[in-house]
Chains A and B, each alone.
Chain A
Amino acid sequence: MKNKLNKALRAVPLYVWVILFTVIPLFMIVFYAFFKVQDGGGYEFTMEFIQKSVTNGDYIHSFLISVKYAAVSTVVCLIVGYPVAYFLNQISERIRDFIMVLFLLPMWMNFIIRTYAMRSLMEKNGLLGFLWDFLGIKGGTLIGTEAAIIIGMVYNFLPFMILPIYTSLTKMDRGLIEAAQDLGANKIKVFTKVLLPLTMPGIVSGITMVFMPSVTTFVIPQMLNNKVMTIGSIIEYKFKQEASSTAVSGVGAALSMVLMIIVIISMTFVNRFSDAEEIREEKEKRRVN
């Protein structure tokens, strides 16, 4: 009896920590989305913010384009990354780990520095602009184009796609492909009937790990094409530029809540194919290799 109580008591600090810094903060988003700070200092219930965030055309537009850019980038990462993972898995084991490290190394550069590096390359007076001039394309720059955003996202998040697919390929029994070939399957059949289903968990983790940061980013559009307001940019603007650092933007909170709901829905959808554990494993691999 005493033992049981002891055991329960020992868990209390953990729950206090989790509730205080994980659960309550999420409720704060909901709170600020529905409650307005009054001039006197009290709070007043309001539907104004949430109504604005789901009816204002600008916000709807930014949600849609964020999903569009993230979806295109995810597809590009999948198309580019799948063969990379496949080829990596074929390399002789002697040098495979080393090549893998080469693919992961750029991820150790800070995200901001990587995006800045991409911008320096794309700028009008950057190396690509110089190349454009050389090729006779006057004043050519990628900065400010839709392609810039896509390239920026693919550049930053491609390894997130390669890694989980590569992991599921290494777990796969190579004999299966040979067996399928022996049984008369052609290359396409081998791909659709053997490779694709067996690497599905990796593909799904990869899609999550690319789509999530892409759909919420504000750094990439701000640095590479600041004419585009993604939902991340709008939320960032509401909190960091419109409001002072001691106030919370109600509309910003409402937009974050909508964003959170979108994230939860897509995560539950994805979780049917993969699980959080797998995503964590992948994140860990890219860090501690």
Chain B
Amino acid sequence: MKKHHPFRNLYLGLTLLFLYAPIAVLIVFSFNADANRSVFTGFSLKWYEKLFESDALIQSLVNSLIVAVLSSIIATIIGTYGALIIGKMRAKYRNMTINIINIPMINAEIVTGLSLMMLFVFLSIPLGFGTLLIAHVMFNVPYVIMSVLPKVKQLNNSTYEAALDLGATPGYAFRKVVLPDLMPGVISGLLMSFTMSLDDFIISYFTTGPGFPTLSVTINSMTKKKVPLSVNALSALMFVIVFVVLLIANLPKKGEKKNG
């Protein structure tokens, strides 16, 4: 039996319309022939050409990607190590440590960003690439720890010991026995860090300097003046990439549930 739910579908449809209308308009006007943001005067790809000529946008995109890649890798290493340490702690210390580590995840981003900025100013470290990287690693570490920790708790210590008994060095046993069990958590922590880092504005805004703007920092400063439609073009490209990736990741797969 097939029931129709006109109200339900209408409600969900309208909510989706609300969420997508601004993005759709943004994308449509990226193809506009002149700089007008309300009247579509004709189809053109000139804003896409302008985008690739715009050093500010491309350079900040590259900056964002560099920080996202580096910070997610460093955060994954620190976070995996942290999860291994925390997983072996006694419950009392473990909860206390987790609570402290979780602070940047729960705290308001503006407070986290400012607190780091004050630390850097106090230590007279000039704001730029280094401080931005530290800030991103700092807010990514808790996410990695929290996604690896459940895997650490599931670890079976006797397989590691068996490997040692069979003559494996601790490093070899770790790589061949422990790490594979942690991998799903490590990968999801890495992906999560990467996207969190790429998406961040507020913390970056307070912890980077004029010499190393990220994409969101650059776009934010562009919105103070008349925004070139090449921003729309870049947003459209990014949206399409994410859309395709997510669609591919979510469409077929039957039976198997998400695993990071």
**Which residues does A use to contact B, with CB under 8 Å?**
7, 10-11, 13-14, 17-18, 21-26, 28-29, 31-32, 80, 83-84, 87-88, 90, 97-99, 101-103, 105-106, 108-114, 116-121, 123, 125-127, 129-130, 155, 158-159, 212-213, 215-216, 218-219, 223, 232, 235-236, 239-240, 245-248, 252-253, 256, 259-260, 263, 267, 276-277, 279-280, 283-284, 287-289
Number of inter-chain CB pairs below 8 Å: 233
B92-114 contacts to A, CB under 8 A, are 97, 99-112, 114
> What are 12 A-B pairs with beta-carbon distances under 8 A?
A10-B85, A80-B15, A83-B11, A98-B251, A112-B219, A117-B22, A126-B25, A218-B110, A239-B206, A256-B110, A283-B143, A284-B188
Which chain A residue lies CB-closest to B117?
A239
Residues of chain B with a CB closer than 8 A to A232's CB: 110
B32-47 contacts to A, CB under 8 A, are 36-39
Q: Is the pair A108, B195 in contact by a Cβ cutoff of 8 Å?
A: yes
Known: A10-B85, A112-B201. 13 other contacts (CB 8 A): A13-B81, A14-B86, A105-B246, A106-B23, A108-B195, A110-B216, A123-B38, A125-B37, A216-B108, A263-B111, A284-B143, A287-B192, A287-B195
Residues of chain B with a CB closer than 8 A to A22's CB: 100-101, 103-104, 138
Contact of A117 among B26, B201, B205, B243 (CB under 8 A): B26
Q: Is the pair A125, B36 in contact by a Cβ cutoff of 8 Å?
A: yes
Q: Is the pair B12, A155 in contact by a Cβ cutoff of 8 Å?
A: no
Assuming the contacts A247-B121, A284-B147, asked whether A18 and B97 have C-beta atoms less than 8 A apart, the reply is yes
Assuming the contacts A7-B88, A116-B223, A276-B106, asked whether A110 and B117 have C-beta atoms less than 8 A apart, the reply is no
Q: Is the pair A216, B121 in contact by a Cβ cutoff of 8 Å?
A: no
**Which residues does B use to contact A, with CB under 8 Å?**
5, 8, 11-12, 15-16, 18-23, 25-26, 29, 36-39, 78, 81-82, 85-86, 88-89, 97, 99-112, 114-119, 121-122, 124, 126-127, 134, 138, 141-143, 146-147, 188, 191-192, 195-196, 198-199, 201-202, 205-206, 209-210, 215-216, 219-220, 223, 227, 231, 235, 238-239, 242-243, 246-247, 249-251, 258, 260
